[in-house]
Structure 1
Amino acid sequence: MSDPRIRFTISFTEPQAHYVEIEMDITDFTETTLDIGMPVWTPGSYLIREYERHVEVVEAFAGTDRIHCMKISKNTWRIQDPPLHTKIRYRVYGFEISVRTNMINVDRAFLSPSATFMYIKNRIDLSCTVQVILPEKWHHISTGLPKTANDEHTFYAENFDVLYDSPIEIGNQDIWYFEAAGVQHEFAMVGSGNYDKQQLTSDITKIIKEETAIWGENPNINYVFITHNYQTGGGGLEHLNSTVLGASRNAYQVPNAYKNFLCLIAHEYFHLWNVKRLRPKELGPFNYDEENYTTGLWIMEGFTSYYDNLVIRRCGFFSVQEYLDMLANDFNQVYNRPGYRIQSAALASFDAWIKQYRPDENSANTSISYYNKGAMLAVALDLYILTETQGTKRLDDVLRAAYRSFYKQENRGFYEKEFQTLAENVTGVNLSAIFEAAHSTEELDYNLYFNRVGYELIDLNRDRQELSLGIKIATQDGRTFIKNVERGSGAWDAGLNVDDELIAINGNRLDTAGKELEFILQNGQIDEIVDVLISRDGLIRTIHAPIRPSTKQQWCIREKPEATSIEKKIAEIWLSVSKYL
């Protein structure tokens, strides 16, 4: 008995109203019950996004005759006793600017496949084709899916995991091609921008070559960069042989902004190997109906966050100091969130589904980013391996061996303990302290690692005597509101709340520039009680709050004056420009 055949046809009769129409043809389905479903999340973005909420008018047909189609759960529709050939038609609304959601308008359409295409339940393994009916004034289609032999507007996916990992950009994007590391690359620029194609191509080629050298091979035949240009844009999402990026259209000629864009490219391209192929056991095959939990995102995203800046340094785009400043920012991001005492890197990974993409006014007090904390742990691993092996091994060697072992040879995901064991076998170094730190809120002494390469991690605020209430404020319509209260601060203990309107302190009316508050903090004494007049839900009250030393940290990484020649030699290996460029 042959497998069912699936063909999608997508069209746009009302793009100005942000709709795409989908027809799903299912042939040779012989079971008595046909259940079709819409994914509730998309790989790489660990949040239940409920894509089915944008689905409208699901209808089923046998030929031209409509047949009964019943919705049986939030994202599942059932057809009982379906014919051998069933057509399912539905519409999807898409009007959200992001790299992971549909955006359809009169000029173009970006389709996130998880938010667009339904699948036969329990048959993710089936192949399918996708035909795009272009509106009259749209001319281009950019996607990592291969074209079928007989139609340049029809694409093939060998299974639904591939389909859901292959976004589609349709419209009039600016497209150019280049070869790097033996792979054909397409760059699709959506919207205008002051980008320089020749410069981008040259710089991105260096990134691709360096990352391919790290991993030992490039697994693709072709790769697609889709970049959405906005007035203010950012973010990215990795895919199997493509990525979707957000950028600010007029920032390409601003040096710092351009380097940040190159970092974003380095990050998403690094995911070709780290997460898309080398992955924790839990991250594939996927269950698209619910959360897929793992404690390993600190390795997947954290290591990638470490390498994105490091690759930019190896390509020569960052000076040594620029790179060290970017690395120090990871420490600042973590240590200026009281949540680092509450949540480990592994727990942050596991809780991504409920915390990472749903920040609120208390998030800084309860959580950290596995991106930043993972990068901190990655640099500790890299430096420890470098120094313990006298510069003959580093984290590159671990990743390359893990890719070869778990993906190339065994074609499976890894358990974290397996990854640690492999890392120790490859390097001959006991790495247990760092891997254990990923599961603990007890902090490593990172200078144990930086000092060994002649550098030190310094908090520039360590000896400063700045005072603080422990609040962040914002002004709105000439009024000042509390937007964050720091755990353990005077404001926290006194009971000041987010959304309290600050009116006066010690009888002095606050100005919107914050000068009165600044004066009191600059001239106050530790544990001095100040009277804070607030409006809470329209009711006036006075809160008596102590001012205390500020906990804000400002980390930097500096070379030790007394660094030895051996330390400098290892540091040179760590920070060197690539030999492959």
Structure 2
Amino acid sequence: MTTQATTATPAVFYRVEPSDPHNHLFQVTMVVARPAENQELALPVWIPGSYLVREFSKSLQRLSAQQNGKTIEVQQLDKHRFVAQCAKSKPLTLTYEVAAYDHSVRTAWLDASRGFFNGTSVCLRAVGLEDKPHGIDIAPPARIKGWQAATALTPVHVNRAGFGTYIAANYDELVDCPVELGKFWSAKFTACGVPHRIVVAGAAASFDGERLVADTKRICESEIRFWHGEGKAVHSHYLFMLNVVDDGYGGLEHKTSTALICGRRDLPRLGEKAVPEGYNTLLGLISHEYFHTWNVKRMRPAEFARYDYNQENYTALLWFFEGFTSYYDDLLLRRAGLIDHATYLRLITKTINQVLQTPGRKVQSVAAASFDAWVKYYRQDENTPNSTVSYYTKGSLVALCLDLALRQHGRTTLDDVMRALWQRTRGGPMSEADVLAVLHKLSGKDWSAELQRWVHGTDDLPLKELLASHGIELHADTTAVAQRLGLRVQENGSGITAKVVLQGGLAEQAGFMAGDEWLGIELASGEGWRLQKLDDLGLYAGASPRATALVSRDRRLLRLPMRLQPAPVEGSAPDTVRLSVSNADLAKHWLREDKVAESTKL
């Protein structure tokens, strides 16, 4: 048995049991030691880090309450709030079930092979007691042997498998520590004196765990030293929870842990020196979520100084907290020596093209896109690329531009700015004014005009000029067929379905709509061809400037005359680019492996 002493007495205590894996049901017992009279209870409607109202209460069922051994009434106030008709200060016991059907990192999942939950999905909040200590007993399934439990919560009385009692200082800490359950692979390592653990569920037997641990350690050491140099890290422990599936990707950050999803084919394999292309993507995800340990989980928007779990929490700063994190995730892989210069430039090129190929960048600023995340980024539809821009991708390019401009100015870098912001805010809430103040202090220059254009405006960023000043040339490149036509499509092997019609594109001019099935083309010669994939267009149309698209819309057959090549527009910027190194010495000065990277080489 593992026991860790604690002086905290939980004001609220939960017992969570995977009681019915085949029906995806967790059984929860909640005890409020000293409730208020008519104690109010609430389940969060969202989880920090994922900016969408997800209505977790839809999965809560069979809620009942007892006090003094007698059943008392629980009245529902609205979609997620309840009130127990209880007396004051006498222990209140509530029981309920949570249906766990979501395989993502955001809510809860349970079946006979694996369980996972975030506290926001399973732990009702005792209103008024959020700042008091909270405890939780994580129980094993009754009829399944060999399961383990993993969480970043502080253990109090826990067995070797990880089941038992944990403590949290308050409700925020409790729900910020997700729990992984099942028969998972596990390993430990130390980075800059901080103990880390990684648990992996669902990997194939070919999985090279030693390689993943070694690479993750290098990431962690690079990022700890980025923020603290040789000083002490802000966290005392950390847990990576990786769920491996046939096809998937995603992550969600927490203060002392992260939940991740990757595809089974993206993991490194035993006996193979070369790694799958998707492995670099996974390492970038690990780097991204770990960087959030500082940038958003501690240093965070002033609006997030205290989470309101009852409704949307708006901020216009996601371009900084997600975008700048997206800039550093791959850059720190480069500094850790996990990718080379060429790979890093390819990753930047991909991000630049994603932004250039989004017409919404001309419609909405990245600051406004941050504020609108609740209704736009997390509720994407066929018009999303036309109406908004990703604060991840454009935010990362803002960081790139700012870093290059600061280096060109010659007095400081974005690295210094990030660390100075950490010191200024003491790793706490901040505003855009803090960013401007630190920029001015370190560089001696007022950067408000640049932030107004880059963050609050819709003009394209000065990437070409700034990259050229650091030895990187930006060139127009061959545009893919879909982008040339202004289409984003789904190809299922037997046909083409338009998913997005980009504003101003050739497909829009021809009258295409999202949902159209593109069946074939007729050429001026009278020839007709059936299309199975978009690349067939070049095969059958060749250099023909025009064709008639044969389209099925709501089972109605339409003929849409269209141009196949856009008319040249003098002075127009390309929507597809590539990067090349024109001055290796200048490029190395920006992309160099600094002292952090040197210290992490194996």
- Report the TM-score when normalising by structure 2: 0.88
Distance verdict in 2 for CA 1:517–1:113, change over 3 Å: same
SS of the counterpart of 1:148?
strand
Q: Which residue of 2 aligns with 1:9?
A: 15
Give the corresponding residue for 1:420: 436
Alignment of 1:29-428 (within 5 A): 29=35, 31-82=36-87, 84-136=90-142, 137-148=145-156, 153-193=164-204, 194-216=206-228, 217-253=232-268, 254-389=275-410, 393-408=412-427, 412-428=428-444
Deviation readout 1:215-272 (Å, 9 max, x if unpaired): 1142111110101011123211110100011122243233422222111111111000
Offset of residue 273 of structure 1:
0.3
One of 511, 514, 526 as aligned partner of 1:495: 511
Q: 1:203 to 1:481 in 2, by over 3 A?
A: closer
Using the TM superposition, give the Cα deviation of residue 460 of structure 1 relative to its aligned residue in structure 2, in angstroms: 1.5
User: Which sits farther off after the overlay, 466-475 or 225-234?
Assistant: 466-475
- Residue 547 of structure 1 deviates from its aligned partner by 3.7
Is contact 2:225-2:596 (8 Å) kept? no
Counterpart in the other structure of 2:3 = none
Equivalence for 1:524: 544
Q: Secondary structure at the match of 1:497?
A: coil
Aligned to 1:28: 34
Counterpart CA distance in 2 for 1:515 and 1:187 is 42
SS in 1 for 2:330: helix
- Distance in structure 2 (CA, Å) of the matches to 1:173 and 1:78: 39
The correspondence for 2:557, drawn from 540, 557, 577, is 540
* C-alpha displacement of 1:568: 5.2
CA spacing shift, 1:58–1:443, aligned 2, 3 Å: same
How many residues end up aligned between the 2 structures? 567
CA distance in 2, matches of 1:150, 1:576: 40
Deviation by residue 1:475-515 (Cα, 9 ceiling, x = unmatched):
45834432221211233133221122334433624232456
Deviations 1:44-75 (A, max 9, x none): 11111111100001101113321000111000
Offset of 1:519 from its aligned partner? 4.7
Name which of structure 1's ranges 49-58 and 418-427 shifts more when overlaid on structure 2: 418-427
Tell me how far 1:362 sits from its aligned partner: 1.8
Deviation at 1:305, TM superposition (A): 0.7
**Distance in 1, Cα, partners of 2:535 & 2:182:** 51
**Matched residue, 2:579:** 557
What is the RMSD of the two structures over their aligned residues, measured on CA atoms? 2.6
Partner of 2:570: none
1: CA distance, partners of 2:432 / 2:122 = 33
Residue type matched to 1:407 in 2? R
Q: Give the CA deviation at 1:192.
A: 2.7
Distance in 1 separating the partners of 2:50 and 2:372: 13
SS in 2 for 1:282: helix
Question: 1:568/1:67 Cα in 2 relative to 1: closer, same or farther (>3 Å)?
Answer: closer
Contact 1:129/1:156, CA 8 A, preserved across alignment: yes
Residues 467 and 524 in structure 1, CA contact (< 8 A), matched pair in contact too: no
2: distance between equivalents of 1:579 and 1:476? Answer: 47
Shift in CA distance, 102/271, structure 1 to aligned 2, threshold 3 Å:
same
- Range with greater deviation from structure 2 (508-517 or 363-372): 508-517
Confirm or deny: 8 A CA contact 2:581 2:587 kept in the other structure: no
Return the alpha-carbon distance in structure 2 between the equivalents of residues 574 and 89 of structure 1.
55
The amino acid across from 2:247 in the alignment is T
Q: Does 1:450 align with 2:477?
A: no
1:423-438 to structure 2, matched below 5 A, reads: 423-436=439-452, 437-438=454-455
Q: Deviations over 1:273-310 (max 9, x none)?
A: 00011111012310001111111111101111111101
**Match for 1:425: what amino acid?**
K
Distance 1:461 1:478 in 2: 27
Contact 1:386 1:570 in 2 (8 A): no
- C-alpha change, 1:571 and 1:335, in structure 2 (3 Å) is same
Closer, same or farther: CA 190–224 of 1 in aligned 2, 3 Å: same
Unmatched tracts of structure 2, length 5 or more:
1-7, 269-274, 568-572
Residues 466 and 540 of structure 1: is their aligned pair in 2 closer, same or farther, counting only changes over 3 Å? Answer: closer
From 501, 505, 511, the equivalent of 2:531 is 511
Letter in 1 for 2:167: Y
CA contact (8 A) 1:466 1:549 kept: no
CA deviations 1:18-46 (Å, max 9, x no partner) are: 000101101112x3321101001101111
User: Does 136-145 or 240-249 show the bigger shift?
Assistant: 136-145
Percent sequence identity is: 30
Q: 1:133: Cα distance to partner?
A: 1.7
- Using the size of structure 1 for normalisation, the TM-score is 0.91
Quote the offset at 1:467 in angstroms: 9.6
Kept in 2, the 8 Å contact 1:6–1:128? The answer is yes
